[in-house]
Structure 1
Amino acid sequence: MSKAFGYRAFGGPEHQEFLDRPVPVPGPDRLQIAVRAAGVNPIDWKIRNGWLGTDRPLPAVLGAEAAGVVEAVGPGVEGFAVGDEVFGVTVAGGYAEHTLLDAAVSARKPAEVPFATAAALPVAGATAWDAVEQLALEPGRTLLVLGIAGGVGSAAAQLARARGVKVVGTAADRNRDWVASFGATQVRYGEGVADRIRTAAPDGVDGLLDLIGGEDLREAAAVLADRTRLVSTADPDTAAALGGSAVRRNPGREALAALAALVAAGGLDPRITATYPLDRAPEALAEVESGHARGKLVLVVE
C-alpha cells in the first residue's frame, strides 16, 4: 500500500484525511513514479471544494504536480524508462508516496535541479510561461501582474524580466522587498489601486496578467490601453467582459523541459519559501488556502 493525502467528499478541509491506497498501475500514456516532491497550489483546494466539478471518483488524492523516479512505464509511452528522474502533471494526485504522471505533460529532470524545485514547475511555472508567451510583450514594455507575490506571479515576473520587460505587481506592503527581489515594483492592492499603478508606471501598462480577479481586476484594467493584452487565470469571465481572455494553457513536454533548463542555467527560481514532509500536508495546504503564501510551497516525500 501507498500513503497519500486526499479527501472523501467535496467541500472544506474537514473532508481531508490520509489514505492508504494500492500503488497505482500505469495505463496507456502514463508513468508510475515514486514521488520525491509535490507542489502545493490553490487549484488543489479548489478541486477539493468542488469548484471545478464534482464528477471525479472519490476518495481522491490532492495535488496536481510532482517529481520523482519512474518505477513503471505504461503502454505507448516513449522517451522514458524505469529509473528516470522526472517531473510533470499528475493524474492520480501528487500528495502521495506513489502516483501517475501524464507522460505528455512530463519531462526528464536535469540532474542539477533538485526534486523539490522540479515539482514546483508543472503548474505555477508552466502557467506563468503560457501567460508570458500569450502576452508576447516586447523589450521595454511594461507588464502588470495582479497578485505577484505567489508562485505564478513570481515566475511570470522573472520570465518577463528575462525578455527585457518591466514588471509592476500588486501585493501587500509587507511583500515589497520580496517583490523587489525578483526585479519587480510592488503596488499595494485594494481600493485606489489604479492610481497607485499609474504612479508606479507613469509611461503606462502594456500587458496585464490577472491572478486575483474581482474588483481589483476591474479597477486595474483602466490603466491598460489595449484590453486584448489582458489575460487571467483567476477570473476569465470578468477578463472577457473587459475585452481580455483566459490564459491559454499549452502544457507539454517541451515547455516543461524549457522551464527546467532555465532553472538549471540560473535564469528562473521557482521561489520555494517552505517545504513540508508529507505528514504535514494539511498544514501546507492550509497556508496556500489562506491566500497569504509567498512563492511556492512543496511537499517532500522521504
Structure 2
Amino acid sequence: MRAYVFTRYGGAENQEFQDLPTPEPGPSEVRIAVCAAGVNPVDWKIRAGWMRDDMALDLPAPLGVEAAGVVEAVGQDVDGYSVGDEVFGSTATGSGGYAEQALLSAAATARKPAGLPFTTAAVLPVAAATAYDGIGQLKLDPGTTLLINGIGGGVGVMAAQVARDRDITVVGTASEDKRALVESLGAILVPYGADTADRVRQILPDGVDAVLDLVGGDALRAVAGLSRDPGRVVSAADPVTVVEVGGSPIERDRTSTVLDAVVALVVAGKIDPHVAEVFPLDDAAAALQAVEAGHARGKVVLEIG
C-alpha cells in the first residue's frame, strides 16, 4: 500500500511516501480501505517526538490518527463488523490514516451513517469526541455558563456546538480574526490578551460555572480563577498545569459509544465539523503543514481513493 510516513522523529523533512506491506488486523482491529483521513495537530506532535515515551512506534510509521473507510478484514475476536461496512474511527497504534489501508481499533470504531460523507466522518474521532468527553465531564446543566479557552481550534469549535445543544452559554477565547467563526457558533468571543480574565468579567461579573481549556500554560492560569468551582476546570492541553490550578485533565472515553453519540448529533444537524479544506493524498505534506502552521480555519481532511 502507498502511505505517507515519517522515518525518524523531528521535523517535516522526515516525512515521505513509501510503499508498505498491507497491514493485517490483529486482535481487536479492523482493516479499512481508507476513503478519508483527518489531519490534526497531534499528527505532527507524534512525528516531532512529543509522545515517544508513551507511544512506542516502529519507524517508518504512517501518519494520521483518525480515518473513515470501508472494512476489508476483521481481527479474529472482532464482532459487529463485516467486510463492506462503512466505518470511521481511531487508528490502531503503529497504523495511520495517511494511507491506502489502515488498521482501526475496533473498540474505537463506529458505523458511518449512509449519506454522510467520508470526509465528514473522518474528522469526528479526535476533535468531536474530545469535545464531547470534555463537556460531559464538566456535568453542566442547561442555563449554566462555560468558558472555552481556545475556542477557535478544532476541539473548541466542536465543544461550543455540543454545549449549545445542551443550552449552555459559551464564552470563548480566540484571536480577533476568528470572531465571525466564534459568533457563528452562538458563542461570545473574548480576544486573547493580557487582560483576558478582566474582559470575561466585563461580560460575566461573577465568573463562569466551568472552564474547558484547550491551550494550557499561562493562558490556562490566566482564566482558571474565573470558574466559581475550581474542580470544574478541565484541560485537554495541559494535564500538569490544570492540576496545579485545582482542576483535572480531560478523561477520554475512546469508545464507539461516544462516536455513535457524536455522529448522531451531526446527522441531526446539531453540530457541524466545519471541514474547511480537503486535500488529495498526494498533497499530504501541504495538508499537515497547514495544520502545523496554525493557518487552518476548520478541519483539514485527506481524501484517498
Same fold (TM over 0.5): yes
User: Is the Cα contact below 8 Å between 1:126 and 1:255 reproduced in 2?
Assistant: yes
Q: Give the alignment partner of residue 136 of structure 1, picking from 135, 139, 147.
A: 139
After TM superposition, give the deviation of residue 291 of structure 1 in Å: 2.6
Q: 1:168 maps to which residue?
A: 171
Distance 2:13 2:166 in 1: 44
Paired residue for 1:94?
97
Query: Mean Cα displacement is larger for which, 189-198 or 128-137?
Result: 189-198
Check if 1:297 corresponds to 2:300: yes
Matched residue, 1:271: 274
d(CA) in 1 for partners of 2:119 and 2:273?
10
1:202 aligns with 2:205: yes
What is residue 72 of structure 2 aligned with on the other side? 71
Report whether the alignment pairs 1:247 with 2:250: yes
Q: Give 1:62's aligned residue.
A: 63
Partner of 1:81 in structure 2? 82
Give the letter aligned to residue 218 of structure 1. R
Gaps in structure 1 of 5+ consecutive residues: none
- What's the CA shift for 1:203? 4.4
How far residue 236 of structure 1 moved from its aligned partner, in angstroms, is: 1.1
Q: Is the 8 A contact 1:185 1:200 kept in 2?
A: no
The CA distance in 2 between the partners of 1:68 and 1:148, in whole Å, is 29
**Map of 2:234 onto structure 1:** 231
Q: What corresponds to 1:121 in structure 2?
A: 124
Q: Deviations over 1:39-68 (max 9, x none)?
A: 011111111111111531100111000000
Deviation per CA, 1:81-107, whole angstroms, max 9, x where unpaired? Answer: 000000000011011111000011001
**Partner SS state of residue 57, structure 2:** coil
2:225 is paired with a residue whose SS is helix
Moved over 4 A (4+): none
Among candidates 183, 194, 197, match of residue 191 of structure 1: 194
Q: Give the Cα separation in 1 of the matches to 2:58 and 2:86.
A: 29
Counterparts of 2:289 and 2:203, CA distance in 1: 33
| CA deviation profile, 1:123-170 (whole Å, cap 9, x unmatched) | 111100100000111111111111111110011000011111001111
CA contact (8 A) 1:38 1:119 kept: yes
Q: Distance in 2 between matches of 1:111 and 1:221?
A: 42
| Structure 2 counterpart of 1:178 | 181
Aligned pair 1:216/2:215, yes or no? no
Structure 1 distance, partners of 2:204, 2:288, is 35
The residue number in structure 1 matching 2:48 is 49
SS in 2 for 1:284: helix
| TM norm structure 2 | 0.96
AA aligned to 1:78 is: D
Write the distance in 2 (CA, Å) between the matches of 1:62 and 1:80.
24
Question: Are the aligned partners of 1:125 and 1:155 in contact in 2 as well (CA < 8 Å)?
Answer: yes
Checking the alignment, whether the CA contact within 8 Å between 1:24 and 1:98 is kept in structure 2 is yes
Query: Residue in 1 aligned with 2:29?
Result: 30
Letter in 2 for 1:214: G
Give the 3-state SS of the residue equivalent to 1:223 in structure 2: coil
Q: Which residue of 2 aligns with 1:106?
A: 109
Tell me if structure 2 keeps the 8 A contact 1:190–1:216: no
Query: Distance between the aligned counterparts of 1:287 and 1:181, measured in 2?
Result: 23
Distance (whole Å) between structure 2 residues aligned to residue 227 and residue 203 of structure 1: 14
Q: Secondary structure at the match of 2:5?
A: strand
Moved more, 245-254 or 285-294: 285-294
Q: What is the alpha-carbon distance in structure 2 between the residues aligned to residue 63 and residue 104 of structure 1?
A: 18
Q: Which amino acid aligns with 1:244?
A: G
* CA distance, structure 2, for counterparts of residue 134 and residue 77 of structure 1: 29
Q: Deviations over 1:241-288 (max 9, x none)?
A: 000110001111111111111111111111111111111111111111
Structure 1 Cα separation of the partners of residues 193 and 33 of structure 2: 43
Which ranges of structure 2 fall in alignment gaps of 5 or more residues?
A: none
Kept in 2: contact 1:273–1:294 (CA 8 A): yes
**Is contact 1:140–1:164 with CA below 8 Å preserved after alignment?**
yes
Contact 1:168 1:201 in 2 (8 A): no
